[in-house]
Each structure stands twice: as structure tokens, then as C-alpha cells.
Structure 1
Amino acid sequence: MMGPVLAACLLIILSTAWIPQANGATCKKDGGVCTCNDNTKTVDRSSKGLTAIPINIPTDTDNLKLDYNKLSSLPPKAFHGLSSLTFLDLSYNQLQTLPAGVFDHLVNLDRLQLDYNQLTSLPPKIFDKLTKLTLLNLYENKLQRLPNGVFDKLTLLEKLYLNNNQLKRVPEGAFDKLQNIKDLRLNDNPWDCSCRDILYLSNWIREKKGTVSNIEAAECDGGTKAVLDVTEEEAAEDCVYPNTTTAIPTTIITTLASSNDDDIPELPVPQENFQKFLGYQEPDHLPTQPQCLMSISGYLGLMMSLVLTSAAILYVIHFLKKA
């Protein structure tokens, strides 16, 4: 009886071991769940419902397709060991962030597709090692800002697609190192043309007009006018954006400087300032109101217990004396 039982157990163990491998998208040249082509060195895992990066991808792969899946995150070392890659397609996934350094080993990458994801920001220096990149597609994401110098190392880049995002501005000098750029798409972003920050982009578009395709399609938020046509008078505000150096609008400074003392509203003074003024030395942490009530009730309870205990002792002593 032990033979069949052991055989059944072994069969179950083997089957359960195989299922995680299949779900994990094990990639092998012979009989694996990936489509591998030795002639083109291509691994195609498009439209497989993947939630994780395939494992055992051949190290000589130069074309990796992971588009139309359900990837929501990438491990920092997802592509380590794949230095032969020239094309990586991660489009049509659910990526919300990119770990710093995730592309650092892809030193031969020529084309990177990240379009149709949910990226809201990019880590600084995320593309610094991709010095051979000629195409970078970030179309149809939710990018709200770009790190300073994020494209500085991409001197061979010819095509950059930033359209259909949530960009209001780009950092000063964002495109200055793109010596070979031929196609830059900036349309369908809510460019804030009321802020001085937009002037760099406006001037850059004006300078590159006719030599870089599609840049003239960038419009101010609401489609009121082209970014190309924004003037210094229109972009008069020093705006403050999240994760940037705080700037105080000059209009506020001027208003404060010209105000009379009588115009300055009286500000309420916090209670603790009165306590300090009166000589009260506050502890490091003042209890909240519920804590105060608990402290008072606890103190009263202790005092009541002492009173009752004292009364009981006195009663016993009085009773003993009578006896």
C-alpha cells in the first residue's frame, strides 16, 4: 500500500512544483513557456497576463517583448545579466514606478518602450546608462514632472515621446544635451503658460522649429495658445511646484512691503505661548485632553482608595480598643 501512496504524493509534489514555474513565466529555449528564436535572439512574452518578469531569459537575448501584460512593478535587478538587449518593450502594462538603476545593465539598449503605463514620475538618473538609446517612448503615462538632467546622457537619442502625460513644465535645460533629437512629441500635456518656468520650453521650441518634428504641437493648458507663442509678459508668475525649491511670488513680497502696520491682521497667539510667558515650564510632551481626564480620574480614584483604606484601619483599631 505504501508504493501507490508514495507515488501519488510524488506526483502531487511534482505537479505543484511545475505550476509556480509556469505562472512565473519560466523561459527556456526548448519547451519553455516563452517563444524564443535563436536566429533573431528574440524572447516574446507579449499578451500573456504576466504579473512578474520571466525568469531564465537567455543572456544573449537582444529583443525582449513584455508588452500587453499586467506588470505593476519591476524588481531592481529585473534585467541584470541582459547586457545584450537592444530592444525592450514594456508598453501596455500597469507600471506605476521604476526602481532606480533598473536599466543600468542595459548598456547596449537602442529602443525602450514604456508607453501606456501609469508612471507619475521618474527616478533621477534612471536613463543615465542608456547612452546608445535612439528611441525612448513615454507616451500615455501620468508623468507630472521630470527630474533635472534626466535626459542629459542620451546624446544619441533621436525620438522622444512625452505626449499625453500631465506635465506642466520641464526643468531648465531639459533638452539641451539631445544633440541628435529629430522627433520630440510634447502635445496633450497641461503646460502651465502663466509661470516663468515655461519660458525655457517656449524658447527651445522656437529655436528648434523646423529642425525637430512635432514640437510645435505643444499647447498651453486649455488649448488657448501654442507654447511656442508664450511671451515673457504672459509668463509672469514665479510658480511653486511639488518637490521643487519653494519660491515666493513677487506680488506677495511687494504687497507685504507696501502694507501699513494697521493693515496687518492680528494673528492669534497659541495657548502654549501664554503659558511660557507666565513662567510655566511645559514638559516635553503635553497630554491630550482625554489623557488629562484619565490622569485626573486616576488621581481621584487613588485618593478615594487611600481614604477608604484609612477609614477601615481606624475602624478596626477602634473596635480592638473596645474589645
Structure 2
Amino acid sequence: MMGPVLAACLLIILSTAWISQANGALCKKDGGVCTCNDKTKSVDCSYKELTAIPSNIPTDTDRLELDYNKLSSLPPTAFHNLKELTYLNLDTNQLQTLSEGVFDELKNLETLRIQQNQLKSLPPKIFDKLTKLTLLYLEDNKLQSLPHGVFDKLTELKTLSLHSNQLRRVPEGAFDYLSSLSLVTLNDNPWDCSCNDILYLSKWIREKEGKVNGIESATCVNKKAVLEITEEEAAEDCVYPNTTTAIPTTIITTLASSNDDDIPELPVPQENFQKFLGYQEPDHLPTQPQCLMSISGYLGLMMSLVLTSAAILYVIHFLKKA
């Protein structure tokens, strides 16, 4: 009688293992690259050298880790099927731009991390749909400017990290709607305190001093604290194009009055034509390690099926003898 009992135990063990592997395989349709936890609804794709986001992340994922990869861009619909996300980590990639509307479906998102990338600018209204956002990390990028009203919809935001960028100013009223703020990091930016655009930030820091942490550390390029800047010191009108350099209006007037014939024709790189025409590189194909991981996953699944079938036949054999 011990034979059928042992066989039944073996069958139960193998069935449990097969079910567990099947759940894992369901969560790893990308080829087994990411680690998934069905209980916590979290997916960890960090440190995988990914150049593209896996396409089959479970739609009920709550927490998604994509940090420490090689992502240089995000398709506009990259997260449109992940409406349950509350946490998204894109830290330490190679992102140079963000597509407009890329976060629009993440209406439950509470934490967004995009630090340590190569972002030079943000699209207008990029955060408008993230009305539940409480933590936003944008530090250690190359941001040269912020769109007007980019934070206006983030009334629940408590932490905003902007330090270690290339910001020289913020738009008038940039922080006026952030009524829940408790921490803002502004240090290690080349704040231009010679232009009167800095007066909004200087006044805002003085008003929020003691109420919002981190803001006093903002310093001008001459190391003077931004909150100490006076109207006399910031008297110049400056125009900020999409570069890191402020151009006084006198120079712009001179350029406008010059003869067009004096302006040399500059060659335009081919990739600029491609961007203008909307050309995009095709999605990256799976790498060799990803393919190998996918094959090994299927082989493991087939082995589990074979063992389970053998156990069933074993049980039937002993039951017939009994």
C-alpha cells in the first residue's frame, strides 16, 4: 500500500511545482527576463540591460522596476496597459526624451522615479494626468528648462527632487499649485541671478522658508543664495531659448537687424530629417540571453509535464494492482 501513497505524494508535489512554474511563466511572457511576484503584483526588470520595455508585463502590476537598464526612449503607449501602477522606477537609464502622453494612463501612480538619466527637457503637460502623485524624482538629469505649468496638476505632491540639473530659472508660478509640498531639492543647478526671471523663485523660497524643506540650498552661479537676490541685482531682461545660455535682448535685436545674406547656411544632420519626418527605429529584437532564457523556461515546463504524466501513470498502475 505504500507504493500508491508515495506515488500520490509525488504527484501532488509535481503538480504544485508545475502550477507554480506555470504562474511564473504567465508572469514572464517576455522570455523570463523580469522577476514577478503575483502576491504583491510587482515586476522587477532592473539590472537587465534592457533597451526596450518588455511587452507582456501583467496588466494588474502595481509596482514596476525598470531601473539600471539601457532605455534611451519610451514609446508613447509604453504604459497604457498598466493602469494599476502606483510605483514606477525608471532611474539610471539613458532616457533623452519623454513622449507626450506616455504617463497619461497611470492615473493611480503615486511614485515616479526618473533620476539619473539624460533628459534635457520635459514635454508640456507630461504630468497632468498624475493627480495622485506624491513623490517625483527628476534629479541628476540635464534639464535646462521646465514647461510653463508642468506641475500645476500635482496638488498631492509632497516631494519634488530637481537638484543636479542645468536649470537657470523656473517659469512664473511654477510651484504655485503644489499645496502639499514638504520637500523640494533645488541645489546644484546654475541658477542665473542676473536675470529678473529669478525673482519668482527667490520670492517663493522666502515665503516657504521653514515650511518646505530643502529650498534654502538653491544658490546662484556666484554662490549667493537665491533667496537673497534683490530686484536691483536681477535687473536684466533675459530671453531663454531651448539652450542653457541666456541671451540678452540687445543681442537678439542685433541679430534680427542683420542681413540674411551674412548668415551662413548650416548643414543639417540626416538624423534631424528623420526626426522631423517622424522616423523611429524599429523595436529592439530580443537579445541572445533573453532567447536562451525563454527556451530554458519552455524546456523546464515540458519537463514538469512529462514528470507529472509519469506520476499519474504510476498511480494508475498501483491502483489497478490494488
Q: With structure 1 as the length reference, what TM-score do the two structures score?
A: 0.67
Q: Deviations over 1:116-170 (max 9, x none)?
A: 0000000000000000000000010000000000000000000000000000000
Residue pairs, 1:124-135, within 5 angstroms: 124-135=124-135
8 Å CA contact 1:27–1:55 kept in 2: the answer is no
Distance in 2 separating the partners of 1:270 and 1:66: 50
| CA displacement at 1:38 relative to structure 2 | 1.0
Q: Could you tell me how far apart the structure 1 residues matched to 2:259 and 2:182 are?
A: 59
Residues 1:142 and 2:138 are matched in the alignment:
no
Opposite residue 143 of structure 1, the aligned amino acid is L
CA RMSD between the two structures: 2.7
C-alpha distance in 1 between matches for 2:38 and 2:68: 23
Secondary structure, counterpart of 1:160 in structure 2: strand
Amino acid corresponding to residue 42 of structure 2 in structure 1: T
Larger radius of gyration: 1
- 30-39 or 136-145, which deviates more: 30-39
Match of residue 233 from structure 1:
232
Q: 1:229 to 1:134 in 2, by over 3 A?
A: same
The 1:251–1:146 alpha-carbon spacing in structure 2 relative to 1, beyond 3 Å, is closer
Note the residue ranges of structure 1 that are not aligned, 5 or more in a row: 1-25, 257-266, 272-323
1:118-197 to 2 correspondences below 5 Å? 118-197=118-197
Q: 1:270 to 1:46 in 2, by over 3 A?
A: closer
The offset of 1:29, in angstroms, is 7.2
Amino acid at match of 2:191: W
* CA apart distance, 1:28: 2.0
**Paired letter, 2:141:** N
Structure with more contact order per residue of length (Cα contacts < 8 Å, sep ≥ 6): 2
Tell me by how many angstroms 1:71 deviates.
0.3
Structure 2 unaligned blocks of 5 or more: 1-25, 263-322
Summarize the Cα distance change of 1:73–1:268 in structure 2 as closer, same or farther, 3 Å threshold. Answer: closer
Q: Are 1:98 and 2:98 an aligned pair? A: yes
Give the TM-score taking structure 2 as reference length: 0.68
Alignment-mate amino acid for residue 197 of structure 1:
D
SS in 2 for 1:112: strand
Structure 2 vs 1, CA of residues 210 and 28 (structure 1 numbering), >3 Å: closer, same or farther?
same
Taking a change above 3 Å as real, the CA distance of residues 57 and 238 of structure 1, as seen in their structure-2 partners, is same
| C-alpha distance in structure 1 between counterparts of 2:33 and 2:133, whole Å | 29
- Report how far residue 55 of structure 1 moved: 1.3
State the number of aligned residues.
232
1:152 maps to a residue whose letter is: D
Deviation at 1:32, TM superposition (A): 2.9
Q: Distance in 2 between matches of 1:268 and 1:122?
A: 35
Q: Structure 1 residue runs of 4+, over 6 Å off?
A: 250-253, 267-271
Asked if the contact 2:240/2:247 (under 8 Å) is kept, the reply is no
Structure 1 residues 269, 53: CA separation in 2 closer, same or farther (over 3 Å shift)?
Answer: closer
Q: Which letter maps to 1:158?
A: K
Code of the residue aligned with 2:96 in structure 1: it is: Q
What is the rounded CA distance, in whole Å, between the counterparts of 2:179 and 2:230 in structure 1? 26
> Alpha-carbon deviations, 1:240-263, whole Å to 9, x = none?
11059x99748999xx9xxxxxxx
The Cα of 1:78 is off from its aligned counterpart by 0.3
